[in-house]
Structure 1
């Protein structure tokens, strides 16, 4: 064989391999996310923490009932932090501490407990110290399907995501060096495609939520209609972390929206969510409150409608 030709061919092959090794396999990245999403069904116990920051324009609440609009307006510029623990094995139990920090106002602490098919929450504006609101859960057995539902919703959401939307997060490594971090981005280039995809998949996601007791068909229709009036604005992103054990253990996102009625006004949401101690023993500490008030008790204390 001609030695110069052989050398040239070897160099060409080596260059091709180097080029290929430097390319991102977007299909593989998507498969990794889908496999991690499917594994969510195996999660039975865990601790969780996270936050959400809201920067919403008041125009978002136009057309709502006055009381609803007034309540939501309290949180239009706020930070919400939460942490807690959950067990999805019967009997289902969850405890959480939620802190709402409205801009320019004092923080609001909302301790919560779900136990024995009852939800207890202390709301300072409605309850004196030590008292909790009590809400019986009519279909609490469906909460045992939370892991399966989480896996199903994640799989459905990822199913139609285009592989080229997914990248490796090289600039922001995961909290755990053994984990993998993947980013789905909304850019000017794919904005319309992402928006069209989310609009097409939302009804199916809401249908699954209704089947599992999270809302009614009427509410699902209302949410779909409301979402149809929103437009996604770039830049946006969703970073997902896959643990060394293959679970979706964390996410960070930012989303900017506008509405048909006021396209010039932007609404921003950023959030994070992390699970730890997956399928490890959970040491719950919150006890069932001794003093409770039901929704009926609360209504009795309100003035009669005129």
Structure 2
């Protein structure tokens, strides 16, 4: 009789422990998804981040020699950035620092968006450091042929949130975990850390989820001006499973006491199958932080005086005629 009760007690304890773990994981997932949705409330913020890229030619190659030359500079590189973003009216500034693999001499690309115009300097195409190219965003928005508009630029932060929410929302709660101890943010406050690890145990399941979400993923990129209709159709028609993520990998977010994501990291290995049937391996690591949320930080860059129209460059990077 004693053994019977002991057995029932153990079974009950295991059941309760399993149920609690399931409930906790579900709550952790809910907290992660809610924090990403909370990002839509960011109307102004400062940001800082970096990424390391190792991209195969098969993924980025285009039919235009100039475009290929520019992409070659970043396909294997480290990119750092820091800036300020205000949504309405759209005001944005950042400084990109790109260091190609094997180089000790990074090149910088300052960018400013103000009064519906975007200004930027690229060492590869500008004649001097004070010469900037200008894109009239209002005019671009009126051009039906351009997928990029003023509204889509305003929605960039929401797009990132939507893409992350799409992936996290489709991931089984059992793969979410929260660190026992909080992490310290740059301002000294605490944040809870939630992560998803890509392992041999969940790689297949995550790829199945990703394949199911791919049309929606592509649609978000197209609707926000990052993919043309032709490119989106091409990706949608690609064979199932031509994009595969591989272990090991990890996604992590740090959530402050207001519910905002303040720090996010990504370590992703993935393979893309080219038209010849060969799979090309790629690797991305990303780290991004957000601060001064909704504090209306003013821009510090001035509108450049030495400006040229970017239409000159657009003529050079137009798709080659067949």
Sort the Cα spacing of 1:216 and 1:193 in 2 relative to 1 into closer, same or farther, 3 A.
same
Select which of 263, 281, 288 maps to 1:266: 281
Aligned CA-pair RMSD: 3.4
Sort the Cα spacing of 1:21 and 1:277 in 2 relative to 1 into closer, same or farther, 3 A.
farther
- Determine whether 1:98 maps to 2:96: yes
Sort the Cα spacing of 1:291 and 1:222 in 2 relative to 1 into closer, same or farther, 3 A.
farther
2:261 alignment counterpart: 248
Q: What SS does the corresponding residue of 1:74 show, helix, strand or coil?
A: helix
2:298 alignment counterpart: 283
How many Å apart are 1:239 and its aligned residue? 0.5
CA distance in 2, matches of 1:21, 1:197: 24
Do 2:66 and 2:316's aligned partners in 1 also have CA atoms closer than 8 Å? no
Equivalent residues, number:
296
Do 2:192 and 2:256's aligned partners in 1 also have CA atoms closer than 8 Å? yes
How many Å apart are 1:228 and its aligned residue? 5.0
- Determine whether 1:293 maps to 2:308: yes
Listed as ranges, the matches of 1:124-163 within 5 Å are: 124-127=123-126, 128-137=128-137, 138=141, 139-146=149-156, 148-163=158-173
Do 2:53 and 2:77's aligned partners in 1 also have CA atoms closer than 8 Å? yes
2:50 alignment counterpart: 51
Do 1:59 and 1:262's aligned partners in 2 also have CA atoms closer than 8 Å? no
2:219 alignment counterpart: 207
- Determine whether 1:257 maps to 2:275: no
CA distance in 2, matches of 1:299, 1:214: 16
Post-superposition CA distance 1:88-132 (Å, at most 9, x none): 02x210000000000223211000001111111100121112011
Unaligned runs of 5+ in 2: 142-148
How many Å apart are 1:135 and its aligned residue? 1.1
How many Å apart are 1:142 and its aligned residue? 4.3
Do 1:179 and 1:244's aligned partners in 2 also have CA atoms closer than 8 Å? yes
Post-superposition CA distance 1:188-213 (Å, at most 9, x none): 11111111211221221332343344
CA distance in 1, matches of 2:106, 2:155: 33
TM-score, normalising length: structure 1: 0.83
CA distance in 1, matches of 2:263, 2:117: 28
2:74 alignment counterpart: 75
212-221 or 252-261, which moves further after superposition? Answer: 212-221
Unaligned runs of 5+ in 1: none
Sort the Cα spacing of 1:224 and 1:54 in 2 relative to 1 into closer, same or farther, 3 A.
farther
How many Å apart are 1:241 and its aligned residue? 1.3
TM-score, normalising length: structure 2: 0.79
Post-superposition CA distance 1:241-280 (Å, at most 9, x none): 11111012221111112233444x5321111111111011
Q: What SS does the corresponding residue of 2:49 show, helix, strand or coil?
A: strand
CA distance in 2, matches of 1:299, 1:21: 58
CA distance in 1, matches of 2:21, 2:110: 48
